[in-house]
Each structure stands twice: as structure tokens, then as C-alpha cells.
């Protein structure tokens, strides 16, 4: 009995000594500071639905011009979208700044639906939709979307986690006087 007690005490002492002497392991980083933003095929899924009374003017529906911007930074876009003349410039669907990586123009008729799968350019972090309504107001004409991120394990054990861009789904309804979001 005395022997068992000594062995237990010796094992406890040895485990205490060895646990205190083990080197400190740095924590495993969960996410990189800035994820990579690679190009990706069909990474922006777009569905635009024009209501039968879309873009009403003098009681009649009219076709609507829509621009989809792929942006790496929102600063220049926000500056233009904040005033009426800037909104008109955004409806030119041009690469007006270095932060605009791609632009695509759509024309949609009342009652129609447009579906498109766009390739996301390298570095794109945001997408913006601008619709050409007659009343030039940002809250009626502009919708901005951030590219969603998904967590993914890397390596054999999948312990190290990284963020990577995911597919962006944009589902919008064009109403009589403004954009209505479906998502």
C-alpha cells in the first residue's frame, strides 16, 4: 500500500514537472488579416425582375437602364452616388475610376426578367446596381452588395482556417419608382 502511494505521488510530481517545462506554443491564427480576392467564374449571380408597372412615367411603364458595377473600393462610387449629377454619370456605365474593375449594362422591359452569371474580376470586394429611374435619388436607384466570405479549412487537418470570397446572389425587383430588394 505504501509502495502504491509513493508511485502515485511520484507520477503526479513527474507530470507536474514535465507539464511546466513544455515550450509555449503560439496560437494557430484563425484568419489572415486580408484574404485574397481572386477572380472567379460565374461568381455573381444576378436576377432582375421588372414589375409590369416598372419605371412609370405619365401613367405608362417604360424600359429601364441598369448598370452593374464591380468595385474594389466604394469611395469614388459613393461620392458620385450622393448627388444627382453623379447618379447621371453612374448611368453612363463607364469605368470612371481605378476602383471600378468591371461594368455591365442591361436594358429591361416592364414585366421581363433578366438572369445573368458574371465572372468576378480579381480584387472585387463589392458590387453595385444602379437603375435609371427618372427621380434621381440614391435610395431609390442604388443598391450596394459586399462580396460574401466563407470560412474554409486548409491543410490535411483542416485546422488552419482562411476566408475566401463566395458567390454573390443579387435578386432585385424593379418597381414603378424604385428598386425593391428580394434578398
CA 113 to each of CA 102, 142, 145, 173: distance values in angstroms, whole numbers, following the listed order: 22, 19, 20, 9
**159: in domain:** no
**154: in domain:** no
Question: What's the whole-number mean pLDDT along residues 22-38?
Answer: 57
Kindly tell me if the per-residue pLDDT of 46 is higher than 70: yes
Sign of the Cα torsion 46, 165, 95, 130 reads positive
Sign of the Cα torsion 53, 55, 56, 58 reads negative
pTM of the model: 0.77
The predicted-structure confidence for 67-125, as pLDDT tens digits, reads as follows 999 999 999 999 999 999 999 999 999 999 999 999 999 999 999 999 999 999 999 99
Minimal CA–CA distance to 50: which of 115, 97, 113?
113
Which residue segment(s) compose the domain that 121 sits in? 44-147+171-181
Number of domains into which the chain is organized: 1
Residue 86's domain is classified under what CATH number? 2.60.40.4150
Amino acid at each position: 500500500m505504501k509502495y502504491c502511494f509513493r508511485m502515485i505521488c511520484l507520477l503526479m510530481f513527474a507530470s507536474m514537472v514535465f507539464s511546466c517545462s513544455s515550450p509555449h506554443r503560439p496560437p494557430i491564427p484563425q484568419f489572415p488579416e486580408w484574404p485574397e480576392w481572386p477572380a472567379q467564374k460565374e461568381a455573381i449571380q444576378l436576377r432582375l425582375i421588372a414589375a409590369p408597372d416598372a419605371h412609370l412615367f405619365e401613367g405608362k411603364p417604360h424600359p429601364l437602364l441598369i448598370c452593374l458595377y464591380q468595385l474594389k473600393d466604394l469611395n469614388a462610387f459613393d461620392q458620385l452616388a450622393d448627388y444627382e449629377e453623379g447618379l447621371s454619370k453612374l448611368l453612363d456605365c463607364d469605368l470612371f475610376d481605378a476602383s471600378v474593375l468591371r461594368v455591365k449594362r442591361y436594358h429591361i422591359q416592364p414585366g421581363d426578367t433578366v438572369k445573368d452569371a458574371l465572372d468576378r474580376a480579381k480584387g472585387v470586394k463589392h458590387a453595385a446596381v444602379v437603375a435609371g429611374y427618372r427621380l434621381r435619388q440614391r435610395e431609390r436607384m442604388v443598391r450596394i452588395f459586399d462580396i460574401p466570405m466563407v470560412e474554409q479549412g486548409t491543410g490535411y487537418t483542416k485546422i488552419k482556417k482562411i476566408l475566401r470570397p463566395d458567390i454573390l446572389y443579387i435578386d432585385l425587383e424593379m418597381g414603378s419608382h424604385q428598386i425593391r430588394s428580394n434578398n
